[in-house]
Chains A and B, each alone.
Chain A
Amino acid sequence: MIARLVVAAIALALAFFVDIPEAGAEYADVVINKQAEKNGMRPVVFPHWFHRIRFRCKVCHAELGFKMRAGANDVTMAAIIDGKFCGACHNNDIAWSVEKCDLCHSGKRGLPSGIYGGHETSGPGRW
């Protein structure tokens, strides 16, 4: 009886340890997948945390014209290569260029576009 309880406790403990790392994305990660998978690429994962260490919000959301709503921007590779949106920095000058496809197109296949990360954002709201 005790042995069974111990086994159950260990299984429960293991289940916790296995479950915890699956908790989710970093707060405010954005999955961008309007075009990517249709064109055979992995979805793009945009990490806000990485970018805001280096740039203030206003750089992308005022100067570069990214609207502050996931899904509201039509970010195409043509625009990026033309120096718009991500292409203002990802041009082999400030950051890596578009040739490094896989560094941005790094998401799990099948993920819908949207903002991810943290239990706080998964409530009944629009996020």
Chain B
Amino acid sequence: MQASISRVKVHLSRWLAGSLLGLLAAGTVFAGNWLPLAKDGVHDPRSPAAKQLQEPKEALSRLTPDTTGNQVRWVLSLEKGEINPREKLLPETKVRKLDQDILLNLKGGMPIVRFPHKQHTEWLDCSNCHDQLFEQKTGATKISMFNILQGEQCGVCHGAVAFPLTECYRCHSVVRPGQTTNLPTHMNPQFHKPGGVGP
């Protein structure tokens, strides 16, 4: 009797340890764990809003998933038409878009950065970046990861509201001639190519 109880205990503790590790591993691999507003640490659970506002999970779980940030591929979600956010409020506003890629970091060691104006101008107006953050002339503004990590330049959005700076290869996406890559699948730069398929 005693022996069988302790055997059960051993099984139980192994099961617990195993499922704990499994859960932790799953948490790092799978997205989709949006917190309820009442438990997110910023909303007051006693506020009437906690019961009335839309929950992140309800809205975001329907969109193309990501492994980071809001766990949504916002650019893809817009391209696919999963969301259709308004472009302007005022009738007189001119909506400006530009389809032009800029290659940056041509001499560094990381893969070259391809900055696509197209995806950025779907969301943003020219004036959001020019000329406060970046001069319009290519090469006129010295861009550095130091500044970006400080929340300047690209870091005004990337790391705060757009995908974070942990996703190196989403920007450093153009492999140099002769460069070998060994990228994690979720950072696969093929994703950027026309018709590229995301994870």
A interface with B by C-beta (< 8 Å): 2-3, 5-6, 9-10, 12-13, 16, 20-29, 31, 42, 45, 47-50, 52-59, 61-64, 68-70, 88-89, 94, 102-109, 111, 115-116, 118, 120-121, 123-127
A49 touches B44 (CB 8 A): no
Determine the chain B residues whose CB is within 8 A of the CB of A126 once the complex forms: 150-152, 155
Determine the chain A residues whose CB is within 8 A of the CB of B50 once the complex forms: 106
Question: 28 A-B pairs, CB-CB below 8 angstroms?
Answer: A6-B9, A16-B20, A16-B23, A16-B24, A20-B33, A23-B35, A24-B40, A28-B160, A42-B44, A42-B47, A45-B43, A52-B83, A52-B85, A53-B59, A57-B123, A57-B124, A59-B86, A62-B125, A106-B44, A106-B50, A108-B42, A109-B44, A120-B68, A120-B69, A121-B159, A121-B164, A123-B149, A127-B160
A118 touches B69 (CB 8 A): yes
Question: Binary interface profile of B, 114-128, with partner A (CB < 8 Å = 1, else 0)?
Answer: 000000001111011
Determine the chain B residues whose CB is within 8 A of the CB of A118 once the complex forms: 68-69, 164
B128 CB → nearest A CB, Å: 5
Determine the chain B residues whose CB is within 8 A of the CB of A121 once the complex forms: 159-160, 164
Kindly report which residue of chain A lies nearest to residue B162, judged by CB atoms.
Answer: A28
Q: Does any Cβ of A come within 8 Å of B88's Cβ?
A: yes
| Total B residues in contact with A, Cβ cutoff 8 Å | 65
Q: How many A-B residue pairs have CB under 8 A?
A: 184
Given A59-B89, A68-B156: A120 and B9 interface contact (C-beta under 8 Å)? no
Cα of A26 to Cα of B156 in the assembled complex, Å: 18
B155 touches A26 (CB 8 A): no
B interface with A by C-beta (< 8 Å): 6, 9-10, 12-13, 16-17, 20, 23-24, 27, 33-36, 39-44, 47-50, 52-54, 56, 59-60, 68-72, 74, 83, 85-90, 93, 95, 122-125, 127-128, 149-152, 155-157, 159-161, 164-166
